Structure 1
Amino acid sequence: IAKGRGGDHAELGAVDARQFANAHGLPSAEAERMAWLVENHLLMSFTAQRRDIEDPTVVEEFARIVGSSARLDDLYLLTVADICATNLNLWNSWRDALLKRLHQLTENWFNQGEQSAREIVDATRAAALREGVAANIPAEDLAGWFESLPDDYFLRTDIAPVLQHARLALGEDRLPVLWISNTPDQDAIQILVLTENSHGQFARIVTELDRSGLNVQSANMTVITPTAAHLEKRALFEFFILDQHNGARLDHWSLDMLRTRLRFRLQSTDAARTRIHRRSPPQLASIDVATQIQFLSDHRRGRTEIQIITKDRPGLLADITTAFADLDISLNHARVSTLGERVEDAFYVVERQGHAVDSPKRCAEIEAALRAAIHSRS
């Protein structure tokens, strides 16, 4: 609605929707409902695909805009219909899971009301400890593992994955520890890696996944604080991936091969510089997408969000993460969204010393390096 007329088509479309409803004698409440949905028809898609929806502040911000469970249901249905009607090839199991997850988190916020970060952390830790002990994980081991994790981890992680990560960490001492499996509930491939927190590990993992023809949809990194039981610096990585055809199932042989290749890559001292030999699909050759890079401050969590919009190609994410490593930038979280020939990625980063990117000069340096990496294979 209202595209091609200049201006914001969502705002112009809301005016059209209200006029249409009034002209057809709909009640004023229904007219406002239609206008609100048209004006905000991109809100849920944008939030689910480009924001960190496991961050309670993101969910709260989204919930306050939506306002009610009824509007949430309306917006969810409209978002699914809009994506499928725009291009059915854009709809996949991962987007389905993301939208359902945002719907669930927002519904929970409506039901539970506002909670402080401290309340969420304490409640998650207590519930995970209780369920872990009930599942025969020693309480002392579990409590020690929890002490090594930052509060931010418990803010953004549900109880089930908290226990899954704990079993991985407590089950084996020798690094790296890898767990790879198809996940039927999200219809994606989940990869967990507990490894030494050395510089460039994120880029090494992403490069190997790219070489294997796998597309990262979401990635998280948690830095583990050294303890008396584990003095070495460790990091926990979690990836959700699809194959290059947007499928999400690997057979046992493929899973074993991927596990072997990742282990070899992580134990290698080589930099993450491997040429990706997959060719771009022919339909992308004649399409141009202007590269846009934007820096946003996340003061509450002491990090910087870098949003990148550009043309998709094989090896793109590997090149971007390698550029971050070369810049001494550490990745905390990444949200990757591919919309046909266009990628809209969000990276949550800190300097190697642990603080946000906070100077215009540094931002300019990072942007120049990212643009060079993005267009290095054009």
Structure 2
Amino acid sequence: MPTAAPSHALDRTRYQAGRSMLFSQFTANNSPTRAVRRLMRELTHLTDLCVLEAWAHCIGTLPDNLRHSSSLIAIGGYGRAELLPNSDIDLLVLIKTDHLPAESKAQLSLAIEQWVSMLWDMGVTLSHSVRTIDECIADALEDLSIQTSILEGRYLAGDKKIHQTFYAAFNRHFDLLTFWREKMAEMRQRHSKFDDTPYSLEPNCKESPGGLRDLHLMLWLAKAANIGQTWQELHHNNWLTASQLRLIQRSENQLLAIRAHLHILSKRMENRVLFDLQTPLAHAFGLFETDGKRAGEHLMQRYYLAARAIYQQCALFVQKFELFLSPPSAPHIAHKIKGFPDFVEVDHVLDVVRNDAFIRKPHLLIDVFYVYGQVTGLTGFSPKLWDAILQARNLITPEFRRTPENRSKFIRLLKLDNGITHAIRLMNQTGVLGRYIPAFRRIIGQMQHDLFHIYTVDQHILTVVRNLRRFTLQEHMQSHFLANQVMAEFGQPWLLYIAGLFHDIAKGRGGDHSDLGAIEVARFAKQHALTKKQTTLVVFLVKHHLTMSTFAQKEDLSDMETIQRFASTVKSVENLQALYLLTVADIRGTSPKVWNAWKDKLLADLYQLTLRELSGQTQAPVSMLKERTMDALELLPNAEIQAQAQALWNDFDTEYFMRHDATTIAWHAEHIVQRPKHTGKTSAVVATKPFNNDHSLHVMVYTADVPDLFARLCSFFQQRYLSIFDAQIYTSGQGIALDTFQVLLPESHQADALFVQRLNQELRETLTTAPALRAPNLGRLTARSRNFPIVPRVSLTPTDKGEYVLKLAATDRHGVLYSIAYILKQMNIRLRSARIVTLGERLEDVFILSSDQLNDPSAAAQLEAELMRVCTIS
């Protein structure tokens, strides 16, 4: 039996002290991407010492027949010597006990238990298994993860013959094709979990697309096929070029260093780059805030560049590996491409005839994307073509960019009838786009922490270009009818693609990115021989790409002065058409949650009203009102309800009809006129219908206006954890409130019939009984809001109608809207109308207030101070 531990053995104190020293050395290093390799190497060595000393103490003291009945193997990350501060230690104990009597088996089993216990006592986070060779082979055949971890096995101690016998048996049973298929399915599932993008806001640096697991996959496949154990061997065996080798090693070190610091900062095995950790993580890398960029944004740009490189290299390797596995008899017939003798199509993939084609003819670095967009049926680039582009892309120099032929080819590319989106995306993936447009290269991988963009700047720009392209396609007509119609009238989509490429290109520099972007696009237009008219248009679009959205969401579109001011900015129908298209594409490209029918309607109304103003039709609101009411009447079920609706509408002014589309107007009218006969004319009417999906609702309230109505409604929704992301608050001249809310349900709720019925009943009871208002209680901020807060802005402006316009922008959180409503109620300020807009986690609200006391500067100052208090993140 084992004896007491010798005095020289590693105990818990020494082991933990050794780890702490290694962590301190690593965190003190000014270059963590270089230091991380040493950290992993020394952590592995320290762990080996611990594991082997415990093994020698517990197993090494057994009789020879027992010592030679087991073998110790490091597997998984420990097996490949990739230990980070809080990584698990994966160990496999192989035993051969069929020749041992029961008493000896029990003695060996007890010794292994004591070995495990000793390691836990030392503080080693252990994951282990004890199996016979046959058991391990059987388990590996059933479990892909076991099979994978065994591939990375590293002999540590015990009988080497058992180790060798096991791996010989494992290799005999190993089926490369099955392993390949299962690993591809696992990769697709893993990528899908993270939305198939390396650009998550809080990526998992191990599991996300472009994470370390993609690199592991490449090495697993290489080891399984015996084509290389390391990156250097893969390079030596012509699977990686020298530049690919350097790129992979640099990107891997970057992610390993990030992961190591995540473990140290969080004091656990944390692989997610969480918002709360991004700033301290950036500081650990020596990154700090600069003009226009937070420290965390600098870090995340580095992360995204590394993740993008890994994602691409993994895709290339997988593609190359698939060709490696394809049967020799598989047909690979090359088809010539007319007009482009340097390229061929092979199995629906674009390939290059000669490896040095781009070096001999650098202009082909533009042509290749034109060919890809022009030839139908292509699904991608061949590995050979990828390698050739990556090898030659550094030939895109200032001289290359100054060559008139290359400039002409780039404009020709933008004028493609088909495939422009895929071509531009491939240009970005290969790094050609950033080299051809240097300003674009600066925003690759740059995150936008403005609480409603969910993409990096480059991905957002490419999504905007994709959206603009969709406006030209018949199959997308149903999704955005007006945009498709306007694009057909505009007729020059390539100019919009240029504006799309440049509209956010100056993000992160400090200063106004619209003005800086306008300078960049003007330079590009001059270099690429655009006409004066074309140049003026693209400069206007980049400079004013936020203007239409601002007018539509923050100004009163029922006021003709608003329309006239916007028209004076736009100046021409062509500018209006182009700005409308870019604005819709831009908003739709920020996040799926930001675009909705309400914003669609606002922009469409502003477009139509401005178009009529520019055309000299000064009576536009009256004409539009008549058109909208006629459309609403046609949606009502019968003549009786139509007549009642027209009587109802006599109480409403132009503002109501300008704010709502025909469908919403008809929905309001049908429920109001069909209320029970025994109720009064102004009795509360509540109606609800699903909005977009089962987790959001459209709620309409029609009732007599009272001073605390808005506060009561906000309180009602807050208490039920229903988040208001859009609202229209309207009060008629007769003192009737007709308010429409779009609310988001908690994830655990669904807008089924029973839920809607109960919600309507409770809301009617609230309006009838008028319960006392509770004191506001602000909810907790999300991690994103805490780390990227919005500086609140409050402005209070008098109108010539004796009212006040209150504009407010701040970080949204649960209860903030009710807090605002509560302040208005406490100060006896009446709300006549409001427009509530939530963009991601940012609220931008406009309130029309009626209160004589606001004429007193001190009261106005008090209101602004109270609003700033509830909107300021502390």
Which TM-score applies when normalising by structure 1? 0.79
1:46 aligned residue (550, 554, 567) = 550
The answer (yes or no) to whether the contact 1:50–1:337 under 8 Å persists in 2 is no
2:762 maps to 261
Residues 356 and 289 (structure 1 numbering): CA distance in 2 closer, same or farther, change over 3 Å? same
| Farther-moved stretch of structure 1 (143-152 vs 319-328) | 143-152
Deviation (angstroms), 1:324? 1.1
Mark the structure with the bigger radius of gyration. 2
Q: Does residue 773 of structure 2 align to residue 272 of structure 1?
A: yes
The answer to which structure has the higher strand fraction is 1
Distance 2:809 2:634 in 1: 42
1:315 aligned residue (787, 795, 815) = 815
2:711 aligned residue (176, 180, 203) = 203
Letter in 1 for 2:738: L
The answer (yes or no) to whether the contact 2:776–2:822 under 8 Å persists in 1 is no
Of all paired residues, the percent bearing the same amino acid is: 27
Deviation (angstroms), 1:46? 1.5
2:122 maps to none
Residues 158 and 45 (structure 1 numbering): CA distance in 2 closer, same or farther, change over 3 Å? closer
Deviation (angstroms), 1:132? 9.5
1:238 maps to 740
Distance 1:71 1:305 in 2: 29
1:289 maps to 790
Residues 132 and 312 (structure 1 numbering): CA distance in 2 closer, same or farther, change over 3 Å? closer
Residues 57 and 243 (structure 1 numbering): CA distance in 2 closer, same or farther, change over 3 Å? farther
Q: Does residue 655 of structure 2 align to residue 171 of structure 1?
A: no
The answer (yes or no) to whether the contact 2:557–2:658 under 8 Å persists in 1 is no
Deviation (angstroms), 1:145? 3.1
Letter in 1 for 2:639: N
Deviation (angstroms), 1:135? 3.6
The answer (yes or no) to whether the contact 1:349–1:356 under 8 Å persists in 2 is no
| Farther-moved stretch of structure 1 (140-149 vs 313-322) | 140-149
Q: Does residue 751 of structure 2 align to residue 250 of structure 1?
A: yes
Unaligned 5+ segments in structure 1 are 226-232
Distance 2:583 2:624 in 1: 31
Residues 262 and 49 (structure 1 numbering): CA distance in 2 closer, same or farther, change over 3 Å? same
The answer (yes or no) to whether the contact 1:350–1:356 under 8 Å persists in 2 is no
**Aligned pairs (5 A) from 1:96-245:** 96-107=600-611, 109=613, 113-115=617-619, 119=622, 123=626, 127=630, 135-137=638-640, 141=644, 144-150=647-653, 152-154=655-657, 156-157=659-660, 161-172=664-675, 173-174=679-680, 175-183=683-691, 189-212=697-720, 213-223=722-732, 225=734, 234-243=736-745
Per-residue CA deviations over 1:180-222 (Å, capped at 9, x if unaligned) read 112569x963222122322201111122123332323122222
Letter in 1 for 2:767: L
Deviation (angstroms), 1:13? 2.5
Residues 241 and 61 (structure 1 numbering): CA distance in 2 closer, same or farther, change over 3 Å? farther
Distance 1:55 1:242 in 2: 30
Distance 1:83 1:143 in 2: 36
The answer (yes or no) to whether the contact 2:776–2:819 under 8 Å persists in 1 is no
Per-residue CA deviations over 1:312-350 (Å, capped at 9, x if unaligned) read 211111111111121222223322333344322222222
Letter in 1 for 2:796: F
The answer (yes or no) to whether the contact 2:805–2:849 under 8 Å persists in 1 is yes
Distance 2:547 2:665 in 1: 29
Deviation (angstroms), 1:22? 0.9
Distance 2:560 2:750 in 1: 31
Distance 1:100 1:155 in 2: 11
The answer (yes or no) to whether the contact 1:329–1:349 under 8 Å persists in 2 is yes
Distance 1:77 1:183 in 2: 25
2:346 maps to none
The answer (yes or no) to whether the contact 1:10–1:40 under 8 Å persists in 2 is yes
Per-residue CA deviations over 1:42-76 (Å, capped at 9, x if unaligned) read 11221233233455543443234223443233223
The answer (yes or no) to whether the contact 1:129–1:143 under 8 Å persists in 2 is no
Letter in 2 for 1:93: N
Unaligned 5+ segments in structure 2 are 1-504
The answer (yes or no) to whether the contact 1:51–1:335 under 8 Å persists in 2 is no
2:521 maps to 17
The answer (yes or no) to whether the contact 2:636–2:670 under 8 Å persists in 1 is no
The answer (yes or no) to whether the contact 1:294–1:306 under 8 Å persists in 2 is yes
Residues 285 and 38 (structure 1 numbering): CA distance in 2 closer, same or farther, change over 3 Å? same
The answer (yes or no) to whether the contact 1:56–1:155 under 8 Å persists in 2 is no
| Farther-moved stretch of structure 1 (126-135 vs 7-16) | 126-135
The answer (yes or no) to whether the contact 1:210–1:314 under 8 Å persists in 2 is yes
2:867 aligned residue (346, 370, 373) = 370
Per-residue CA deviations over 1:285-321 (Å, capped at 9, x if unaligned) read 333322211123332x543221112222111111111
| Farther-moved stretch of structure 1 (57-66 vs 123-132) | 123-132
**Aligned pairs (5 A) from 1:25-36:** 25-36=529-540
Residues 276 and 109 (structure 1 numbering): CA distance in 2 closer, same or farther, change over 3 Å? farther
Distance 2:697 2:815 in 1: 19
Residues 338 and 167 (structure 1 numbering): CA distance in 2 closer, same or farther, change over 3 Å? closer
The answer (yes or no) to whether the contact 2:688–2:697 under 8 Å persists in 1 is yes
Distance 1:115 1:318 in 2: 39
Aligned residue for 2:726, secondary structure, equals: strand
Aligned residue for 2:743, secondary structure, equals: strand
| Farther-moved stretch of structure 1 (342-351 vs 269-278) | 269-278
Letter in 2 for 1:32: T
1:360 maps to 857
Aligned residue for 1:285, secondary structure, equals: helix
Distance 1:28 1:57 in 2: 31
| Farther-moved stretch of structure 1 (211-220 vs 63-72) | 63-72
1:228 maps to none
The answer to which structure has the higher helix fraction is 2
Aligned residue for 1:337, secondary structure, equals: strand
Letter in 2 for 1:14: A
Per-residue CA deviations over 1:105-130 (Å, capped at 9, x if unaligned) read 5445556721176x459847985898
Aligned residue for 2:787, secondary structure, equals: coil
Residues 206 and 154 (structure 1 numbering): CA distance in 2 closer, same or farther, change over 3 Å? same
The answer (yes or no) to whether the contact 1:215–1:244 under 8 Å persists in 2 is no
Aligned residue for 1:137, secondary structure, equals: helix
Deviation (angstroms), 1:163? 4.5
